[in-house]
C-alpha cells in the first residue's frame, strides 16, 4: 500500500506529527492533564507507538521546548546593533525586533503558551522553561549593553535590571495578546504585531510620559 493517504504522516514524519500534537495538547490542556492516550488518540496510532519515538512524557516535552528555544533565540538575536545612531534609530530598531518577536509568537502561540503560560510540571521541565526565558532576557541584555557602548543610552543605567524590566514587559504583552481568554478586556487584543511593537517600543524608551 502506497503511503499516500491524506492524514497519515510517513516515516520520519511520525515523530514530527507526535510533537506537533503534543505541543498543542500541552499548551491547551497543560502538562498534567495531557494524557499519552490523548496524544496517540489524536495521531491515530497505538499507545506503544509513542514510546518508539520518545522515552517518556517528560522527554517529549523537553524536546519540544528545546527545539522551540532555538527558533525563538534565532528570532531575537537577529539584528544585533552594529553602528551608533539617533534615538529614533534606536527606537525603530527595537520596534523591528519586537515586531519579529510578536510575529513569531503569533505563528507559534502554543510554544509561547508553554514558555510563558502557567501550566508547567516537573522540576526538569520547569528548569528547561526557565533556562529558555533566561536566554531570551540575555539577548535583550546584550542589546542594551551594546547601545550603551555606542553611547546611545546613558551609561548610568543598571543594565541587568533594565533587561529584566524589558523582558517582563514583553512577556506580559505576548501573554495578554495571545491568550486573551485568560486576560479578557486587556488593552492589546485585536492589535497587529506591528502596532504592538510600536507601542511597546515607545513605552520601553519613554515610559508612560511618552505620548
Cβ neighbours, 10 Å, residue 116: 18
Nearer to its own copies among residue 46 and residue 157 (C-beta):
157
Regarding 119 and contact with its own copies (CB under 8 A), the answer is yes
Which of 121, 135, 142, 150 binds its own copies (CB under 8 A)? It is 121
52 contact choice in its own copies, DNA, none (CB below 5 to 8 Å, kind-dependent): DNA
d(CA 80, CA 146): 9
Per-residue binder mask for DNA (CB under 7 A), 36-55, x = binder: xx-------xxxxxxxxx-x
Among DNA, its own copies, none, residue 24 binds (CB under 5-8 Å by kind): none
User: How far apart, in whole angstroms, are the C-alpha atoms of residue 96 and residue 139?
Assistant: 15
The binder of 107, among its own copies, DNA, none, by C-beta within 5 to 8 A per type, is none
Look at the block and give the residue holding cell 515586531.
Answer: 99
88 near its own copies, rule: CB under 8 A: no
User: Judged by CB under 7 A, which stretch of 35-43, 74-82, 159-167, 175-183 contacts DNA?
Assistant: 35-43
Among 19, 76, 104, 204, the residue binding its own copies under the rule CB under 8 A is: 204
Site for DNA in 58-87 (CB under 7 A): 58
> Using CA atoms, how far apart are residues 34 and 48, in angstroms rounded to an integer?
16
**Closest CB 46 distance from DNA, rounded Å:** 3
Residue 20 CA neighbour count, 13 Å, CB half: 8
Q: Pick the piece of the chain touching its own copies (CB under 8 A) from 2-10, 53-61, 66-74, 154-162.
A: 154-162
Give the nearest distance from C-beta 44 to DNA in angstroms: 7
Query: Would you count residue 56 as binding DNA (CB under 7 A)?
Result: yes
Interface residue list for DNA (CB under 7 A): 1-3, 8, 10-12, 14, 33-37, 45-53, 55-58
Amino acid at each position: 500500500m502506497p503511503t499516500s493517504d491524506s492524514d497519515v504522516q510517513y516515516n520520519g514524519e511520525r515523530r514530527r506529527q507526535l510533537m506537533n500534537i503534543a505541543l498543542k495538547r500541552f499548551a491547551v490542556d497543560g502538562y498534567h492533564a495531557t494524557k499519552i492516550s490523548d496524544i496517540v488518540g489524536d495521531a491515530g496510532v497505538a499507545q506503544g507507538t509513542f514510546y518508539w519515538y520518545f522515552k517518556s512524557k517528560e522527554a517529549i516535552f523537553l524536546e519540544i521546548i528545546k527545539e522551540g528555544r532555538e527558533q525563538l533565540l534565532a528570532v531575537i538575536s537577529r539584528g544585533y546593533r552594529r553602528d551608533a545612531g539617533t534615538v529614533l534609530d534606536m527606537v525603530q530598531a527595537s520596534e523591528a525586533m519586537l515586531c519579529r518577536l510578536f510575529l513569531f509568537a503569533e505563528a507559534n502561540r502554543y510554544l509561547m503558551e508553554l514558555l510563558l503560560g502557567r501550566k508547567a510540571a516537573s522540576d526538569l521541565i520547569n528548569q528547561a522553561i526557565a533556562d529558555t526565558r533566561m536566554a531570551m532576557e540575555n539577548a535583550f541584555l546584550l542589546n542594551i549593553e551594546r547601545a550603551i557602548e555606542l553611547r546611545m543610552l546613558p551609561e548610568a543605567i543598571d543594565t541587568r535590571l533594565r533587561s529584566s524590566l524589558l523582558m517582563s514587559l514583553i512577556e506580559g504583552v505576548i501573554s495578554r495578546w495571545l491568550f486573551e481568554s485568560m486576560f479578557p478586556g486587556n488593552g492589546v487584543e485585536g492589535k497587529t504585531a506591528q502596532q504592538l511593537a510600536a507601542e511597546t517600543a515607545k513605552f520601553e524608551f519613554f515610559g508612560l510620559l511618552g505620548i
